[in-house]
Structure 1
Amino acid sequence: MAEKKAGEVEAFLSRPDTSFPTVLLYGPDAGLVSERAAKIAALSGVDLKDPFAAISLAADELEKDIGRLHDEVRTISMFGGRRLIRVRGAGTGSGKALAEAVAVFGKEPPVDVTIVVEAGDLKKSAPLRTAAEKGRATMALPCYQDEGQALDRMIDEEMKRAGLAISRDAKDALRARLGANRLASRGEVQKLCLYCLGKTAVEEADIEAIVGDVSVDTVEETIDAAASGEVRKLPELIARLTSAGTAPFLLHQGLLRYFQALQLMRQSVERGGQTVSRVVESRRPHFRRKAAMEAAVGLWSLDAVAPVLSGIEADILASRKESALAGTIVRQTLLTVAVEAARLRARGRR
């Protein structure tokens, strides 16, 4: 089977194997998928500025006319040399036609062409992923959230390009603010390098001054707003996360963990006789989250928390079954929770 584990992808991309002319990149981090696809394109040897040699196709359009892909694969470049076909937006809908085409390319490798297919998060049983993994001339590359060495490597690349040094402590502080999306993360590091232009090293103060923390702060702020019933704040917060490329599952998982913790805190209040402020203090939340957490613990009873947890779990399952709708599903989950919290608050005032 032609597939790599997530930790092996960077090594493969550093020396791409042309015996796999068709490459599928998939995962929840759209920015990482796009960046790695661009890297394969750059290493393909194709002139990316030549519109006859570098072709971009939309997956949803190919589902209506898959013959176009087969025609492009068989087309010979006017001036000779290798061609590049980049298929974007795969993984939505059935993807049956594209999966069948990839299966054909796996059995009958195309000549002098590199095919790069960019997809969202695909289940193990997804036809497109199965076709790529089983083909002798196709390669499936999973692209998951930036972690550890991959994120460090990206930071080092940008620092070297800018001629800047960065201490271990400063790098730790920077890494903690990155990771929601590869392109967004790289953009933040590039912004930091520009901010430090003329200096020899990046300091923690520079990071505090210029680097945003979309991957953590906004996720937590969004969850706090939903749990405490701040309905009006949610659309803007969700929009910020969406524009930064934050994966929907991060919000779903964060919300699930929050309400699991909320359930335990309410048990301490209702069955242990502790005060809301004492229960919240025992969790040692960041000072910026303390007020919102106290509001949430005061609003939600044990009886109210239970159906919310069931609803979140059901929505997580639905988003995994329909990955193309994951963003819409998590948005509805957050709004539903926020509206219920607002209702509980209104009842408490009567």
Structure 2
Amino acid sequence: MPDAAKPFIFVCGADDFLVNRLGKTRYDELTADVTDEFAREIISGFANNVGEVESAINRFRESVQTVSMFGGKRVVWFKDVNFLADSVTGRAESTLKLVDDLKELLATVDPAQVAIVITAAPIDRRRAFPKWCEKTADFSLVGGGDGEGGSEALGGVILAEARELGVTFGEGAAQLLLAKVGANTRLLIEETRKLATFAGGPDGKATVIEEAHVAELTANTAEGDFFEAAEAFFSGDLKWTLAALHHHFFTGGDARPIISAMQNRNRILIQVRALVDSGEARVGQRGLDGLPKAATAYGHHFIGVTEKSAYNLFSQNAWYVGKLAGSGKLPSLRRLIDNQQDFIRAFEEIVKRPNEQNEVLREMAVRCLSAA
């Protein structure tokens, strides 16, 4: 519940979806007993330049200073504020002056006359205004900070959502969901709700979201690595691979994303194979053992590579790498290198035969898997 002792509510964080979701909860709490629709107002704080920042703050000022028609308390939500970020607009001297004006306005507002909710994402917490809000307002920081935490922070989001829905994630299910969806908070939450509904069954009792549920029901939106054809190919199952290719092209798919997915996975497996052959890692029932130790020994070769990439095994999630390596028999290094050459050959072929992409990939699959 809102802190009645504070003059306004301030919700901020790196993720606009999470920030606005909590902001809406606070706004709904404040407006629950407000029957006069004119006493409720939502003002957009989104601005692309200094001129729009000034317009947004002026609209907010007018709303806050408007007297309720029937003498009751007004509730104003200043939503989607983005000019408090470390951006060109946020750093502009004119913006900083306007933010000072906003601070003066908030300092003079009578909370007995108007209740205020401000939601801001992203935000530069080093600046004076957020620090002042933290001391003065009913302050909430969503997500733990300015984007740090990565998959760990997102994992906390879906685990919290599952608890609220009365379900839990089984072993490997949460990690698989993160790998398939990626850093899309809104979609992660929606997928968690969908999975919870499915896992709950007809009785709706608390139960477990299993890894198999995620594999079957969640679409592959993060990267191309989870295409069915890639899964089938690296399992070594030619019949499944050909069926997956048929399904892909029957629905109007293109060959290039499949080749890209296969190349990316193959690059990772080449590096895994090299570590396994050297005895520095081992593929077991739980995935790949020894990756952190190998990263200590070889990570310096990738200095300057900060983004996740199939070229750098150590930029990958350790659990995800274990799933790739353990999903089927790990091919020999020679076979993996030959695969990469076949992928290049297939790409060259689809350039020459753009209307025969299905046939090109079927031929490639037969060559690779028959020789494996």
Equivalent residue for 1:286, pick from 311, 314, 324 = 324
Aligned-pair distance for 1:98? 5.4
Aligned-pair distance for 1:79? 3.2
Equivalent residue for 1:187, pick from 173, 187, 190 = 190
RMSD: 4.5
- CA–CA distance in structure 2, aligned partners of residues 218 and 49 of structure 1: 47
Q: Does 1:89 align with 2:75?
A: no
Q: Does 1:69 align with 2:73?
A: no
One-letter identity of the residue aligned with 2:116: I
Q: Does 1:129 align with 2:130?
A: yes
Q: Report what 1:120 is aligned to.
A: 121
- CA–CA distance in structure 1, aligned partners of residues 154 and 33 of structure 2: 32
CA offset digits 1:9-51 (Å, max 9, x no partner): xxxxxx3212223233222212111111111112224457854
**Contact residue 162 and residue 192 of structure 2 kept, 8 A:** yes
**Contact residue 24 and residue 139 of structure 1 kept, 8 A:** yes
Gaps of 5+ in 2: 84-88, 145-149, 228-253, 262-303, 316-320, 345-372
Aligned-pair distance for 1:260? 8.1
The alignment-based identity, stated in percent, is 20
1:1-350 mapped onto 2 (5 Å cutoff): 15-46=1-32, 51-59=37-45, 60=47, 61-64=52-55, 66-92=57-83, 93-94=89-90, 95-96=95-96, 99-112=99-112, 113-126=114-127, 128-133=129-134, 136-137=136-137, 139=139, 141-144=141-144, 146-147=153-154, 150-159=157-166, 166=168, 169=170, 173-174=173-174, 176-178=176-178, 180-196=183-199, 197-199=201-203, 200=205, 201-204=207-210, 205-212=212-219, 214=221, 217-218=222-223, 256-258=307-309, 261=312, 286=324
Aligned-pair distance for 1:256? 2.4
- CA–CA distance in structure 1, aligned partners of residues 154 and 97 of structure 2: 34
Which of the two has higher C-alpha Rg? 2
**Contact residue 188 and residue 211 of structure 1 kept, 8 A:** yes
Residues 210/98 of structure 1: CA separation in 2 closer, same or farther (3 Å cut):
farther
SS at match of 1:256: coil
One-letter identity of the residue aligned with 1:120: A
One-letter identity of the residue aligned with 2:307: L
**Contact residue 15 and residue 143 of structure 2 kept, 8 A:** yes
- CA–CA distance in structure 1, aligned partners of residues 310 and 218 of structure 2: 30
Gaps of 5+ in 1: 1-14, 160-164, 223-229, 238-252, 265-282, 300-350
Residues 19/263 of structure 1: CA separation in 2 closer, same or farther (3 Å cut):
closer
- CA–CA distance in structure 2, aligned partners of residues 33 and 209 of structure 1: 30
Residues 34/233 of structure 1: CA separation in 2 closer, same or farther (3 Å cut):
farther
* TM-score for both structures, normalised by structure 2: 0.48
- CA–CA distance in structure 1, aligned partners of residues 196 and 127 of structure 2: 40
SS at match of 1:68: helix
Higher relative contact order (CA 8 A, sep 6+): 1
**Contact residue 80 and residue 120 of structure 2 kept, 8 A:** yes
Aligned residue pairs, count: 231
